[in-house]
Amino acid sequence: MSTFSHVRGLGFHVPERIYTNADLEKFVDTNDEWITTRTGIKQRHVVEDETCLDLVYGASVKALADANMDADELTHVIIATFTGDMPVPATSCVLLERLGIKNKVAMDLSAACSGFVYAIEVARALINLDPSAKILICGAEVLTSRVNWEDRSTCVLFGDGAGAAILTAGTEEEPGRVLDTLLSADGKPALNLTIKDSGSAHPYRLGDTVGKENFIEMQGREIYKHAVRSMTAISTEILAKHGLCADDVDVLLPHQANMRIIGAVGKKLGVPEEKVFVNVDKYGNTSAASIPIALAEAKESGFIKNGDLVLLTTFGGGLTWGASLIRF
């Protein structure tokens, strides 16, 4: 017999400092019109003195409070990120110390922008194995540490932030039930979005200088095509699997990459604009943090109401993509 998994609490945290498009004009060869028409982004939050761990901690504390849960009740901590404070130890392990807890299962997960949806599926599997599990999942990124501020095609896209959720077992009738999650990946076009430095294929050597390989490199046109096609296909698949269609979706919450992708996915799925949650204009693309920030903000603002069927869909480097259905 399957065990049902439920979202019990949500929270997000972003840095206070904001870079507007006008701010970027001061040191990047770009302008507000160029950024807005191509991406829909008006501003992004950028770390100043904070680290990825600080963002994770802020989001996690809010999610725990929303779930009315103490940190020590957690059994697992899963953090989706590729911009953690350091390769080792994992950000999840260090978070345990910050939360004042120990002897929990902790691990980081790398699936780029799809990381949070991947973490949902990992949490569901763990809860199915042990219904007493209480799991914190978080998507967090400090992407501005990995952008080339001289590359106007990429640096305008990204921002920093974190979003978190608490998942536990529950009954079929309780709100927040994760109906299903589908995941997929394809390594063939992975080089369309890369950070090549620090991996074993591109090791550091003493005296090496910083180069373009230290930062995000992306073939925007190819990423756009893959993103729209993959997000639409996996969303259609998960709806069909449960005998549902676009009319049954109360809220479509896509990865907040840019407005062109969001608009194209919504149109291809046949979901009206008024049902599509958008906050990319305020935060930019925060990668693994994108879905949980949007989910927490949509719930907090009342965009997601009790009883709503919410469709999450995402796409990221790897290439990875996924979709999840949640009944709130």
Q: Which residues contact 245 (CB under 8 A, 6 or more apart)?
A: 239, 270
Residue tagged active-site, from 138, 214, 255, 258: 255
Q: Which residues contact 99 (CB under 8 A, 6 or more apart)?
A: 57, 60, 61, 71, 74
Print burial letters for 195-214: b (CB count within 10 Å at least 16), e (below 16): bebeeeeeeeeeeeeeeeeb
Q: What is the pTM of this model?
A: 0.94
Residue tagged active-site, from 192, 214, 258, 285: 285
> What is the Cα gyration radius of the chain?
19
**141 neighbors 288 (Cβ within 8 angstroms):** yes
**Would you say how long the chain is, in residues?**
328
Residue tagged active-site, from 52, 113, 138, 155: 113
What domains appear along the chain, each with residue ranges and CATH number? 4-173 (3.40.47.10), 178-327 (3.40.47.10)
Q: At what angle do helices 259-269 and 220-241 cross, to 10 degrees?
A: 30
pLDDT score for 222: 83
Is 52 one of the catalytic residues?
no
pLDDT score for 34: 86
The rounded distance, in Å, linking the Cα atoms of 94 and 75 is: 15
Low-confidence ranges of the chain (pLDDT < 50): none
Is 245 one of the catalytic residues?
no
Residue type, 227: A
The number of C-alpha atoms within 13 Å of 252 and in the hemisphere containing its C-beta is: 29
Is 155 one of the catalytic residues?
no
The rounded distance, in Å, linking the Cα atoms of 220 and 182 is: 25
pLDDT score for 142: 95
- Nearest of 113, 168, 165, 166 to residue 141 by alpha carbon: 113
DSSP assignment of 4-68, as one string? EEEEEEEEEE--S-EEEHHHHHTTSS--HHHHHHHH---EEE--SS--HHHHHHHHHHHHHHHTT
**136 neighbors 63 (Cβ within 8 angstroms):** yes
Proportion of the chain in helix, strand, coil states, percent, rounded to 5: 40, 25, 35
Q: Which residues contact 22 (CB under 8 A, 6 or more apart)?
A: 32
- 253 DSSP assignment: E
The rounded distance, in Å, linking the Cα atoms of 246 and 88 is: 43
